Amino acid sequence: MKKTYQICCLPGDGIGPEIIAEGKKVLDAVGARYGVTFACEDTLIGGAAIDACGNPLPDETLEAARAADAVLLASVGGPKWDTTDPAAPRPEQGLLKIRKELGLYTNLRPVQIFGALAGASTLRPEIIDGVDMMIVRELTGGLYFGRRERFYDEPGAGTDGAAGQRAYDTLEYREYEVERIARQAFEAARKRRGKVSSVDKANVLETSRMWREIVHRIGEAEYPDVELEDVLVDNAAMQLINRPASFDVVVTENMFGDILSDEAAQITGSLGMLASASLGDGVALYEPSHGSAPDIADQGIANPLAQILSVEMMLRYSFDMGEAADAVRAAVTVVLDEGWRTRDIADAETPAECVLGTAAMGDQVVAHL
Ligand code: NAD
């Protein structure tokens, strides 16, 4: 009997519905070729869910995600829901909550250069030659999940002597949280080039000093074959631009990872190409690294390749379908080598007939599968 996998699809906002349609197209094509059925069910998250029921992560969505074999997310957010009112619901809360509820403590972001797009980077070709790194970001702890509060009670700190505001966020980690993310990084390094760069701010932060101590303990005891270097986060921001090809696996705290992975994404020159996987001990979630691109929503011009490459990661990590995953990546590579582009990755030399819309780009990938 044909194997069936349940996929919980979360189109979200902005370009989300347009790009997830292309991800599903690829899943269908892979299913047909490898004798598997991917049963995709759409459900609400983010701004779309706020509009429907006032909650960025409705209970039904969480239940559907928990019951599925994998979650495919597009992106959430947009100016319609932007607010500085701490009491108002925001789309990103849906994202943070689903990560927390599903226990997705590891975010894997591969950063690789597609040869055909090397010219899109703002860095010189000799600097980006050979860039192939995996950023392992801790996703359910640290600064984004610590206690936070805002007060409106600071005497005389506001304008005209009125009461002013103060606010705090806390960065907290528990030993087991650092241990498990460290192990994920060392395991990833063993399957790659055997090097981990642990990024922290140990010269200032107590959490970082604990982080460093634990990462070294795990490394020395369990992964003596893996090379380990410590890099301070400010230095890491510089070295990513200076010597990006020297990084293999980069492991770091939640907010540091958020910022550094966007910087690393930029090395490739094409945010629309980068996927990510969020893994825990149960169902995993796959999504592009970019946001909901509200500036180009509903125009049919968004690049669906990061979403398609998140399907590649799903096949690899949730379904152990390495051959199918390789086929998806190969299809994307050939499409680019043949010169097909969406607008964001086209340049002055791209012939107009090679600039494709979202659906046509998805069709090209499927044709090459
Ligand atoms: P963004 O990634 O949405 O867009 C940045 C720029 O890249 C824009 O010019 C956009 O048009 C372009 N871009 C992004 N993805 C593209 C694609 N697939 N094809 C072509 N061009 C693409 O980041 P932003 O503008 O800072 O944020 C927009 C919204 O997305 C905000 O509400 C933000 O909170 C949200 N956001 C969501 C996620 C997520 O869902 N994981 C991540 C980041 C930002």
156 Cα to the center of ligand 1, angstroms: 39
14 Cα to the center of ligand 1, angstroms: 9
Q: Which protein residue's CA is at the shortest distance from atom 38 of ligand 1?
A: 291
- CATH numbers and ranges of domains, the chain: 1-102+283-369 (3.40.718.10), 105-142+173-275 (3.40.718.10)
pLDDT of residue 1: 67
Average pLDDT, the chain: 94
Report pTM.
Answer: 0.90
pLDDT exceeds 80 at position 271: no
**Cβ within 8 Å of residue 299, ≥6 positions away:** none
C-alpha 235/C-alpha 207 separation (Å) is 18
Q: Give the residue, out of 73, 271, 361, with the most ligand 1 atoms within 8 A of its beta carbon, to mutate for a pocket test.
A: 271
pLDDT exceeds 70 at position 157: no
pLDDT bracket for residue 199 (50, 70, 90): very high
Alpha helix segments (H runs only) across 156-304: 175-190, 206-222, 233-242, 254-268
pLDDT bracket for residue 152 (50, 70, 90): confident
Pocket around ligand 1: residues whose beta carbon is below 6 Å from it? 15, 19, 75-78, 92, 95, 271-272, 287, 290-296, 302-303, 306, 344
C-alpha 248/C-alpha 192 separation (Å) is 7
pLDDT exceeds 90 at position 119: no
pLDDT exceeds 80 at position 154: no
Angle between helices 322-337 and 358-368 (to 10 degrees): 120
